[in-house]
Amino acid sequence: MVSIVGILYLQGCCVPHEKILKKLGVETRRIIYANDLDGCSALILPGGESTTMLKHITPKLEDAILTFAKANPVWGICAGSILMAKHVKNPSQKSLGLMDVTILRNGYGAQNESFIRKIPMKLKENDTFEGIFIRAPQIESIGDDVKVLAFDDEVPVFIEQDHLMATTFHPELAKDDAIHRYFLSKIES
Ligand code: GLN
């Protein structure tokens, strides 16, 4: 069966994911309404602005995402990782609460404190990944079921909880598809 990866298409950095997944031979679908998720095998919640996304997630779409996430891989990137977290601070806001994580919005500072830094990463052949942090949230704490796949300066920046994962940086903007390939491996397993 062909896998279709849904990308929440309400706002944010979506096109680079489509390009990378197309290169990897994977079909994508733009998710705007609840029934767009029908037949998808995984879902990406992109980076962007979490408050704006929240405004556009209708109760019906929220229900569909929560049901989908019970059995299918979901990956939240930056703003998407904020949506994934159980607790959001600075300021506190509603979220989907999928991962046992407390996260601080804009935890590294304002727009002009955005940065790019190589981060050590075990799943890569060359052991580092270009971490592009844009007004990134900072993970403050994680529950026992959450595994850290990469730290930056002792702060978790790439985490997973079973079939769910989150990165506080933007892998779709790096010239490297290792994290996308890792996400796709969750569909098969
Ligand atoms: N600061 C944004 C938020 O709070 C996230 C930024 C991003 O996704 N690059 O939603």
Count how many domains the chain has: 1
pLDDT of residue 185: 95
Its domain, for residue 155, covers 4-188
Please name the residue whose Cα sits nearest to atom 9 of ligand 1: 134
Residues annotated as catalytic (active site), given as ranges: 78, 170, 172
Q: How much of the chain, in percent, has pLDDT values that exceed 90?
A: 92
Phi-psi region of 170 (alpha: psi -120 to 50; beta: other; left: phi over 0): beta
Low-confidence spans in the chain with pLDDT less than 50:
none
pLDDT for the residue numbered 125: 64
CATH number of the domain encompassing residue 143: 3.40.50.880
Cα(first)–Cα(last) distance of the chain, in Å? Answer: 14
37 Cα: distance to centroid of ligand 1 (angstroms): 24
Query: 0.75 exceeded by the pTM?
Result: yes
pLDDT of residue 124: 65
Q: How many CB atoms lie within 10 A of CB 34?
A: 18
pLDDT in tens, 36-46: 999 999 999 99
Q: How far apart are CA 13 and CA 136, in angstroms?
A: 14
Q: Check residue 127 and give its pLDDT.
A: 87
Is the CB of residue 48 below 6 angstroms from any atom belonging to ligand 1? yes
Q: 132 in ligand 1 pocket by Cβ < 6 Å?
A: no
CA of 43 to the centre of ligand 1 (A): 18
